[in-house]
């Protein structure tokens, strides 16, 4: 069986609470991780995906694997590390508009990802390798693993996708720049939020995209939140407006967007259709609760654009 996409990173137990974290107020854990979100998004759209990472031998590690398997994501190379805990994070919705994350992932099993976790034939029969700028922030060995994976994949002719995903609680913009820029020669598709482009390139958006293309990147996608997104290819810039939806949970929009974009690439859609799918996926993510739980199946995908708001299908 071929695998369309491989992605690697840290998946955690994320504890969410509506409102402030407080004694006596329940929090509900669920799977979190940018790469696993993308993997699930792709799997729901019908692609075959593998996620690679490390989890601890505590109650959370098996849950991570259970959640990914449930979604049809392959986890067969994932390592269960008996010596380190599964990463945990707490996500408190401090106000209606402001969410805060408290990480407990320093020294986690997931951050211990290392080059040995890659296996010789990892890139065979693969079409896409998806990476994010989060994994290299976790540890030196994780950074080295990402670099090696990018190298191996590009050497094997596999499309390498990199989502900048800057996490200010993990490292500074400068550290991120220093680590991510050297990866660019191996990267085919670069995805960044409108305020993240400067991590990987300099100047205003136009110049930055030019600079990225100069390193060998072939597609640049720029996420603009409720505004929409753009896709730069060698043929130029395409813009897509966001789908008008009632946003209820912004977390995971970018990952859904990546899944849509990669799905479009896997299905050989033209750039416009690819961007449209990305934007559709982003809209699903913001209009459903959870980081990935509300993502659509292939059949559901168009529904978010074709029904009027508040409609009941019965």
Ligand X SMILES: Nc1ncnc2c1ncn2[C@@H]1O[C@H](COP(=O)(O)OP(=O)(O)O)[C@@H](O)[C@H]1O
Supply the residues annotated as catalytic. Answer: 255
Partner whose footprint covers residue 224, from its own copies, ligand X, none (CB < 5 to 8 Å by kind): ligand X
Helical (H) or strand (E) element with 90: strand 88-95
Q: Single out the residue of 112, 103, 99, 106 nearest to residue 169, CA to CA.
A: 103
Instruction: Give the residue with the Cβ less far from its own copies, 214 or 248.
Output: 248
Single out the residue of 5, 128, 138, 242 in contact with ligand X (rule: CB under 6 A): 242
Instruction: Give the residue with the Cβ less far from its own copies, 146 or 280.
Output: 280
Q: Give the Cα separation of 32 and 22 in Å (integer).
A: 21
- Torsion angles phi and psi, residue 13, rounded to 5: -95, 120
Contact region with its own copies (CB under 8 A), list: 121-129, 247-255, 257-265, 267-275: 247-255
Binding mask 71-90 for its own copies (x = CB under 8 A): xx------------x--xxx
Q: Give the Cα separation of 4 and 20 in Å (integer).
A: 40
Minimum gap (Å) between residue 301 Cβ and its own copies: 12
Single out the residue of 12, 283, 301, 304 in contact with ligand X (rule: CB under 6 A): 283
Determine, following the binding rule CB under 8 A, whether residue 241 of this chain makes contact with its own copies. no
Single out the residue of 223, 249, 266, 304 in contact with ligand X (rule: CB under 6 A): 223
Binding mask 177-196 for ligand X (x = CB under 6 A): ----------------x---
Residue 240 in contact with residue 230, Cβ under 8 Å? yes
Read off the DSSP letter of residue 35: H
Residue 189 in contact with residue 162, Cβ under 8 Å? yes
Contacting residues for 271 by C-beta, under 8 A, at least 6 apart: 219, 231, 233, 235, 238
Residues at the site binding ligand X, with contacts judged by CB under 6 A? 193, 223-226, 228-229, 242-243, 245, 247, 250, 253-254, 257, 279, 282-283, 286
């Amino acid at each position: 069986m071929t695998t369309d996409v491989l992605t690697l990173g840290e998946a955690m137990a994320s504890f969410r609470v509506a409102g402030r974290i407080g004694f006596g107020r329940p929090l509900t854990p669920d799977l979190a991780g940018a790469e696993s979100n993308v993997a699930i998004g792709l799997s729901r759209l019908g692609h075959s995906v593998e996620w690679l990472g490390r989890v601890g031998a505590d109650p959370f590690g098996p849950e991570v694997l259970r959640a990914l398997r449930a979604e049809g994501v392959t986890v067969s190379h994932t390592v269960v590390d008996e010596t380190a805990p599964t990463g945990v994070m707490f996500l408190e919705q401090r106000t209606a508009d402001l969410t805060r994350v408290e990480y407990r992932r320093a020294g986690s099993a997931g951050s211990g990802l290392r080059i040995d976790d890659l296996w010789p034939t990892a890139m065979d029969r693969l079409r896409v390798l998806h990476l994010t700028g989060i994994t290299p922030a976790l540890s030196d060995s994780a950074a080295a693993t990402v670099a090696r994976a990018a190298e191996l994949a590009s050497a094997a002719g596999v499309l390498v996708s990199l989502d900048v995903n800057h996490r200010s609680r993990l490292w500074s913009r400068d550290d991120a720049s220093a680590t991510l820029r050297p990866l660019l020669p191996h990267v085919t598709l670069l995805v960044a939020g409108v305020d993240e482009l400067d991590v990987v390139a300099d100047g205003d958006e136009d110049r930055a995209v030019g600079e990225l293309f100069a390193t060998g990147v072939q597609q640049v996608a720029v996420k603009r939140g409720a505004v929409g997104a753009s896709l730069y290819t060698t043929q130029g810039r395409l813009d897509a407006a966001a789908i008008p939806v009632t946003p209820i949970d912004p977390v995971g929009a970018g990952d859904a967007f990546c899944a849509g974009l990669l799905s479009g690439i896997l299905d050989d859609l033209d750039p416009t259709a690819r961007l449209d799918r990305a934007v559709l996926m982003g809209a699903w993510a913001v209009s459903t609760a959870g980081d990935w739980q509300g993502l659509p199946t292939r059949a559901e995908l168009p529904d978010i654009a074709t029904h009027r708001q508040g409609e009941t299908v019965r």
